[in-house]
Amino acid sequence: MRDMILTNARIVLPTEVIHGTLRIREGWISDVSTGATAVSGAEDMEGDLVIPGLIELHTDNLERHIQPRPHVDWPHAAAILAHDGEMASVGITTVFDAMRVGSVPSGHNRYAQYARKLATELWEIRAANGLRISHFLHLRAEVCSETLVEELSEFSADDRVGIVSLMDHTPGQRQFRDLDKLKAYVQGKQGMNEREYEEHIALLYTLRETNGDTHEAEAVAAAKRFGAVLASHDDTTAEHVAKSAAHGIQLAEFPTTVEAADACQAQGIAVMMGAPNLIRGGSHSGNVAAHELAGRGVLDILSSDYVPSALMTGAFLLADLWDDLPRAIATVTNAPARATGLTDRGRLEVGLRADLVRVGNTLGNPVVRGVWAHGRQIG
């Protein structure tokens, strides 16, 4: 790890953009100053933006790499390395890898257990210095499942679990209030016929009735045991948000209505929306559009969700919408850091990690031209 000087940069600070110079010593930011420098060895950013490394709290990308097609189990080490490299390439320097816990081994739409094995493999690669960026776990606790309690018991406070989210996919509520959209999604993804689909839906209702409350309580307790942030998922009503607040939830992933997002703000719960929703102009499930919440001032954090490159693109769309680049960049840097208790990153300030991204512009689109993780260039 070498000391560095990045100069002639437009540096995005928490409340302003300055033309200046960043100095990095042993992986940490040692100085931020205005003006360029002609010091020998300084790297000329040629007027490009320098922003903090992006922080991703909810991504399905690792799951996509281990199962690139239905029923295909890709070699996990190769999948982990490819996922890590892809995150780095789009400017993400900290990622909370979403892994489902809570499986349904019976029925037509079977979900097998995988999280414990995959997490072990991830940490083995990390111990061998095989990862470019910082990884934490985001355990997605499926309450409509058969094995949640068992799977949560396989994790401990040593597993870098940063987030536990309560996932309730009971048909007809939250993400899929519209059963026609749920049917199109499930049949399109899993290729079920009518009979198989009806049996699948009936099983989910049964699992929610028999296990839902117990699983929800176990997930809340597990988050406390891990020292993790507890998140809700797809809150739809003010009643949902009140229940979330009673659990001590601090982060709301993808509230589906204006009512829920407004209630989150009133309860001091950070609202996270998907960058693909923002870029596409609406939700693929027919729920509230991210740009509507942004316009109301109730969008705090962006997530790339299922498209890693969407995180950077989405932040710059917000910058245009708000006419405020520092505020927009904070939704993918400082705000997710604060929401998960990461006090050593997310801002370009002296004493913080040198997680940095150099961003240029091509035909109006942000382009990643350099990435540094803890002072080491990785892209």
**What is the distance between the alpha carbons of residues 223 and 16, in angstroms, rounded to a whole number?**
36
pLDDT at position 185, please?
A: 58
Question: Are 161 and 17 part of one and the same domain?
Answer: no
CA 58, 306, 254, 172 torsion-angle sign: negative
Query: What CATH number does the domain containing 357 carry?
Result: 2.30.40.10
For 312-370, how does the pLDDT look when each residue is reduced to its tens digit (9 = 90+)? 999 999 999 999 999 999 999 999 999 999 999 999 999 999 999 999 999 999 999 99
289 and 232 in a common domain: yes
Using alpha carbons only, give the angle 224, 230, 233 rounded to the nearest 5 degrees. 150
Question: Do 97 and 191 sit in the same domain of this protein?
Answer: yes
Secondary structure (H, E, C), the chain:
CCCEEEEEEEEECCCCEEEEEEEEECCEEEEEEECCCCCCCCEECCCCEEEECEEEEEECHHHHHHCCCCCCCCCHHHHHHHHHHHHHHCCEEEEEEEEEECCECCCCCCECCCHHHHHHHHHHHHHCCCCCCEEEEEEEEECCCCCHHHHHCCCCHHHCEEEEEEECCCCCCHHHCCHHHHHHHHHHHHCCCHHHHHHHHHHHHHHHHHHHHHHHHHHHHHHHHHCCEEEEECCCCHHHHHHHHHHCCCEEECCCCHHHHHHHHHHCCEEEEEHHHHHHCCCCCCCCCHHHHHHHCCCCEEECECCCCHHHHHHHHHHHHHCCHHHHHHCCCHHHHHHCCCCCCCCCCCCCECCEEEEEEECCEEEEEEEEECCEECC
Q: What global pTM score does this model have?
A: 0.91
Mean pLDDT of 299-308: 97
10 Å Cβ neighbour count for 248? 11
Tokens of 328: 């927009």
Total domain count, the chain: 2
What is the Cα–Cα distance from 353 to 346, expressed in whole angstroms?
A: 8
Q: What is the mean pLDDT of residues 270-290?
A: 92
Q: So what's the pLDDT on residue 175?
A: 57
- 199: pLDDT strictly greater than 80: no
CATH code of the domain containing 241:
3.20.20.140
Q: Which backbone phi and psi does 109 adopt, to 5 degrees?
A: -95, 70
Question: Strand 49-52 and strand 301-303: pairing?
Answer: unpaired
Same domain, 43 and 181: no
Rounded Cα gap, residues 372 and 357, in angstroms: 6
219 plus 108 within the same structural domain = yes
Read off the pLDDT of residues 210-250 as tens digits, 9 standing for 90 and up.
776 888 999 999 999 999 999 999 999 999 999 999 999 99
Q: Biggest alpha carbon distance in the chain?
A: 72
* Predicted local confidence at residue 310, as pLDDT: 98
| Residues 28 and 173 placed together within one structural domain of the fold | no
Q: Are residues 364 and 323 in the same domain?
A: no
Report d(CA 211, CA 92) in Å as an integer: 36
Please tell me whether residues 45 and 79 are part of one structural domain: no
Tell me: pLDDT of 208 over 80.
Answer: no
What's the confidence (pLDDT) of residue 169?
A: 63
Residues 115 and 223 in one domain: yes
Structural domain containing residue 273: 54-344
- pLDDT above 90 covers a percentage of the chain that reads 78
- Predicted confidence at residue 191, as pLDDT, reads 60
pLDDT score for 179? 56
* Residue pLDDT, tens place only, 117-168: 999 999 999 999 999 999 999 999 998 888 899 999 999 999 999 999 998 8
- Please give the residue that has the higher pLDDT: either 103 or 313: 313
Q: Which residue has the higher pLDDT, 349 or 195?
A: 349
User: What is the model's pLDDT at position 286?
Assistant: 78
- Same domain for 27 and 140? no
Distance from the first to the final alpha carbon of the chain: 15
Position 173 scores a pLDDT of 61
Residue 304 clears pLDDT 90, i.e. is over it: yes
Mean per-residue pLDDT over the chain, rounded? 91
Are 45 and 65 in the same domain? Answer: no
- Are 52 and 355 in contact, with CB atoms under 8 Å apart? yes
> In angstroms, rounded to a whole number, what is the distance separating the alpha carbons of residues 209 and 313?
41
Beta 365-373 vs 376-377: how paired, if at all? antiparallel
Claim to verify: residue 333 and residue 351 sit in the same structural domain: no
Q: How many residues does the chain have?
A: 379
Higher pLDDT, 125 or 191: 125
